[in-house]
């Protein structure tokens, strides 16, 4: 669990650098724009001013194109989404194995699984997954996410029931809302299972 936690921390730092690369590109193109604009205002001659203004305009337009169309909206979002899905699936598999005894799930096997888990945080891994699967989450990822949401809601319901008492929880609006959300998730999971048959 300590290795999984450390991998999660390192992955968060890596994901920050993915968004940081976009920021670096913004700074670079913004700097070119500012220099060209500034030079255009102090340079003599109509031709030089016109050329520098054109460079500033082109640099600014290029930055907007890359940010809004290519990098941010398509690439970064899809890659980080696929990295998150892969890590959720892998972590659920590893966590399920932790309940096994050491003869069934050895330390070496767990370390190998955690190395595989850690490797799912690579930008190129996420990019490959996005290219292979598209931007939409795969059914297995949806199922795992719903099961995790259901578990959290069940814990919340139990906590609320313990706090206000079992009898009061039957009519409590908050508890009713949690139960309704659990039932909705169960229906969705059931329909997913039926759809796979």
Q: What are phi and psi of 80, to 5 degrees?
A: -65, -35
Q: What tokens were used for 125?
A: 């891994």
What's the rounded Cα separation, in Å, for the pair 128 and 133? 9
What's the rounded Cα separation, in Å, for the pair 120 and 181? 31
Q: What angle do CA 91, 94, 100 make, to 5 degrees?
A: 150
For residues 119 and 9, is the Cβ–Cβ distance under 8 A? Answer: no
Residue extents of the structural domains in the chain: 1-134, 138-197
Q: What are phi and psi of 104, to 5 degrees?
A: -85, -40
Lowest mean pLDDT among 35-49, 62-76, 89-103, 137-151: 35-49
**Each residue's pLDDT tens digit, 18-32:** 765 555 555 455 555
What's the rounded Cα separation, in Å, for the pair 95 and 113? 10
Identify which has the larger pLDDT, 128 or 42.
Answer: 128
Residue 42 has pLDDT above 50, yes or no: no
Lowest mean pLDDT among 37-46, 79-88, 119-128: 37-46
What's the rounded Cα separation, in Å, for the pair 82 and 133? 9
What's the rounded Cα separation, in Å, for the pair 163 and 179? 16
Q: What tokens were used for 13?
A: 């730092």
Q: What is the pLDDT of residue 29?
A: 54
147: nearest Cα among 98, 196, 185, 183: 185
Residue 51 has pLDDT above 70, yes or no: no
Measured over the CA atoms of residue 172, residue 175, residue 181 and residue 185, the dihedral's sign is negative
Residues 179-183: what's their mean pLDDT? 90
Q: Is the overall model pTM greater than 0.85, yes or no?
A: no
What's the rounded Cα separation, in Å, for the pair 118 and 139? 22
Q: What is the pLDDT of residue 39?
A: 47
Helix (H) or strand (E) holding 92: helix 77-97
25: nearest Cα among 78, 59, 63, 68: 63
């Amino acid at each position: 669990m300590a290795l999984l936690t450390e991998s999660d921390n390192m992955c968060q730092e890596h994901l920050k650098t993915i968004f940081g690369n976009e920021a670096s590109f913004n700074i670079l193109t913004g700097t070119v724009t500012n220099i060209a604009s500034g030079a255009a205002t102090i340079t003599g001659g109509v031709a030089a001013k016109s050329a520098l203004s054109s460079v500033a305009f082109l640099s600014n337009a290029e930055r907007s194109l890359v940010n809004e169309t290519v990098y941010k909206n398509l690439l970064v979002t899809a890659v980080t989404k696929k990295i998150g899905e892969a890590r959720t699936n892998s972590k659920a598999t590893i966590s399920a194995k932790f309940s096994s005894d050491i003869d069934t799930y050895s330390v070496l096997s767990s370390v190998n699984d955690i190395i595989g888990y850690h490797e799912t945080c690579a930008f190129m891994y996420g990019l490959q997954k996005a290219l292979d699967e598209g931007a939409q989450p795969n059914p297995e990822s949806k199922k795992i996410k719903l099961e995790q949401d259901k578990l959290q809601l069940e814990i919340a319901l139990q906590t609320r029931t313990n706090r206000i008492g079992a009898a009061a929880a039957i009519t409590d609006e908050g508890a009713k809302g949690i139960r309704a959300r659990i039932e909705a998730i169960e229906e969705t999971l059931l329909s997913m299972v039926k759809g796979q048959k």
